[in-house]
Structure 1
Amino acid sequence: MDQPGQPRKILVIRRDNIGDLVCTTPLFAALRARFPDAWIGVLANSYNAPVLVGNPDIDEVFAYTKLKHRARGQGRLAALWQRLALVWNLRRRHIDEVILPGGMQASALRFARWVAPRHVVVASVNLANSAHEVERSFACLAKYGIKETPPACKAIADEPLAARIAATLPAALAGRRLIALHLSARKPRQRWPVERFAALARQLHAAHACGFLLFWSPGAADDPLHPGDDAKAAELVAQMGDLPVAAVKTHHLSELMAGLSLCAEVICSDGGAMHIAAGLGKPIVCFFGNSDAARWHPWAVPYALLQPASCDVVDISVEEALAAWRRLPTA
């Protein structure tokens, strides 16, 4: 692949998970600083693209729908036609360079070929296995002479939406320090038990009189396309019935970002919500089961990480979680 020059139009392709895209936002900031007059676009997917809304380092976001993310009633042909139209739109823009921060992924390379840029840039810097995902993504920029430490991740909450969510909260939460509890996790070994969230909240409230906002992946557990934790959330609310708590059901990623922005700290397992919280600059207590803590820990924010030897968060006690929260500089 050719050496990049001074591009006028740059397209970054990041079409995987929410956390991966959040971990790429330092790259966008560095690109904007290096090429202040360039057009910088991002090709993402319909699932992760909302984390880029309001990002000042990006000129335009293009999102396609993965077949597994199709809405009910949307056929395969309609989704594929939408994708073809998007690629044709990008191809007509005569992109100078496509950057693939996720590496040599077959699907990302395929999109790059379809867009037909003048150059394709893929990270070629050899990094240690312990390198963070932010550093792995940022390594692409070495070809532009950008080799500094990556800045913090960036997620922009919708302030009017946050204000509307705040206006719906119970009066019992008014004036209290709010702590976010996010109970969902994709991997079974990263799901902390509901009763421990309740016990932790009880101790935090007794010691600090704080309130709680509860977040989770909405939906029924048996939904074949988008399984959720509505039942677990209802159970947790019932167990916290005498505490100042509000369940914030987030049907859209923008609602999750806005809701998290109202909180002083976040307690959650490794996952997309954790990286969004980091992008919002929130101190985090995070539970890691069988995921790589060196690669995926919160980037450039205060955090306390708990990962038991068993690599199953069920072995993290309430006392350990409370001690971790007290280690945060804001506690």
Structure 2
Amino acid sequence: MKALGPFPAGAAGAGRILVRGNNWIGDVVLSTPAFRALRTRFPRAEISVLAKPWVIPILRHNPDIDRILLYDAGGRHRGILGVHRLGRDLRRERFDAAFLFQRAFEAAWIARLSRIPVRVGYATDGRGWLLTHAVPATPESLLVPRVEHNLALLQAVGIAPADRGLVLAPGTEDLNRARVRLEALGIAMDDRLFGLSPGATFGSAKRWSAERFACVAEGLSEQEGAKGLVFGGPAERDIGDQVVRRASKANLVNLAGLTDLEEAVALIGLCGLFLTNDSGLMHVAAALDVPLAAIFGPTDPRTTAPWCRRHVLVRKEGVCCSPCLKRDCDRDHRCMSLITVEDVRSALLDLRQRYGWDPVSVRWERLQGGSGRTVPLVSLGR
């Protein structure tokens, strides 16, 4: 694999870079150390990230990127003709290089249509011929943490990691909205707050039962005097309602579908404890250094475990069919059903004993001085 030469010739650190972002919230969070590596290697470059609408909030306050380019998959860039239109839109931007963290054929095809002279990506999905720097992807290379996988792509072309920490900070306005929300819910700054993420957009196989989430929430409220928030998107509103309804003794509010992602990020950052399935919000909590317990069943913790120090993994070892990576279980869902309420309570107790449980006020102070900068969002072709 050849390394990148001077970029562009005679202007080390300058130029125009396109990054093809991933399509899942968690994957975008796990890409942020790679953004930092690009910024460190090319300090004067203009770095633009091409992203679909639902992941843009994760990028809006990232200090390492200059622009977000809207991939309007539901409108201007929809379908085959839309992809070719996107290629023409990007061609006008005259990028010097593209780094493709999204591994699908489409990402490489768009970069080729855009006539970007340097195209770096993994040789997956039969797309190696579309890349100028096609990095081999062996089965072993796919079974490493996503952060390391992304950084390995850059290392293959001579770009060293800057650091391996996740980069995510709520915007100042979003933090203020979160505080107003908490006040309206009767949650004070000296309260201890926990968050629950009982959904998982990928599929039902990743979800621990709503009834068991409710049992854990009741214990946290009754024994610790804590207050809780349920997080998720509009499609997870019903799951959140089930948890709240069954946790009748808990001081618990379902916010699934009631906040935008920016406000949810800020609210999660104010929690002192987080219980979650393997989901995008799990990675948000990890990036915000919230102590968390993550429940894993059909997915592989070798690749998608929380990338943070303050976490506990809850998983049943020895389940013959796990990890299966299926969206929906066609058997008895044993990898999740064998995880008991006591297993999770024990994990949360371990977290509290090791890291404590900060009240909202302490979490608030830690988030101050976050990002007051907003990355511009560009609608292509308009």
What is the rounded CA distance, in whole Å, between the counterparts of 1:320 and 1:101 in structure 2? 35
- Once the two structures are aligned, what percentage of the paired residues are identical? 28
Q: Provide the residue aligned with 2:216 in structure 1.
A: 200
Compute the displacement of 1:59 (Å): 0.6
CA distance in 2, matches of 1:142, 1:93: 26
Contact 2:170–2:265 (8 Å) recurs in 1: yes
Deviation sequence 1:27-49 (CA, Å, 0-9, x none)? 00111112111111111212222
Shift of 1:121: 1.4
1:181 maps to which of 182, 196, 204: 196
1:268 pairs with one of 262, 273, 276? 276
Query: What amino acid is aligned across from residue 322 of structure 1 in structure 2?
Result: R
Alignment-mate amino acid for residue 167 of structure 2 = K
Deviates more, 1:37-46 or 1:124-133: 124-133
CA positional deviation for 1:244:
2.4
SS across alignment from 1:200? helix
> Quick one: structure 1 residues 234 and 48, their matched pair in 2 at CA, closer, same or farther if it must change by over 3 Å?
same
Map 1:63-142; keep pairs closer than 5 Å: 63-66=70-73, 70=74, 79=78, 86-103=86-103, 105-123=104-122, 124=135, 127-142=140-155
Query: How far apart are 1:11 and its partner, in Å?
Result: 1.0
Does the Cα contact within 8 Å between 1:3 and 1:119 map onto a contact in 2? no
Letter in 2 for 1:112: A
Check the 8 A contact 1:12/1:43 in 2, yes or no: yes
Residue aligned with 2:54, SS:
coil
Distance 1:253 1:84, change over 3 A: farther
Are the aligned partners of 1:191 and 1:313 in contact in 2 as well (CA < 8 Å)? Answer: yes
Q: Which residue of 2 aligns with 1:330?
A: 355
Tell me the TM-score normalized by structure 2. Answer: 0.75
Deviation at 1:204, TM superposition (A): 1.9
Aligned residues: 313
CA distance in 1, matches of 2:77, 2:99: 27
> Which residue of structure 2 aligns with residue 223 of structure 1?
none
Query: For structure 2, which runs of at least 5 residues remain unmatched after alignment?
Result: 8-14, 123-134, 323-334, 357-382
Over residues 75-123 of structure 1, what are the superposed CA-to-partner deviations in whole Å (9 max), with x where a residue is unaligned? xx773576555433321222111112244x2111111101211211124
In the aligned structure 2, how far is the partner of 1:148 from the partner of 1:140? 10
User: Superposition RMSD on alpha carbons, in Å?
Assistant: 2.4
Amino acid across the alignment from 1:51: I
- Worse overlay, 161-170 or 133-142: 161-170
What stretches of structure 1 of length at least 5 have no aligned partner? 219-227
Which residue in 1 is equivalent to 2:166? 153
Letter in 2 for 1:99: F
Q: Does the 8 A contact of 1:135 with 1:150 survive in 2?
A: no
Displacement of 1:286 after TM fit?
0.4
Amino acid at match of 1:98: A
Aligned residue for 2:19, secondary structure, equals strand
Match of 1:224 in 2: none
TM-score, normalised with respect to structure 1 = 0.85
CA change 1:253–1:277 in 2 (3 A) is same
Residue 212 (1) aligns with residue 228 (2): yes
Would you say the 8 A contact 1:4–1:121 is kept in 2?
A: no
Q: Is the 8 A contact 1:11 1:41 kept in 2?
A: yes
Question: Aligned with 1:47: secondary structure?
Answer: helix
Q: After TM superposition, list the pairs within 5 Å mapping 1:302-321 onto structure 2.
A: 302-308=310-316, 309-310=318-319, 311=322, 312-321=335-344
Q: Counterpart amino acid of 2:199?
A: S
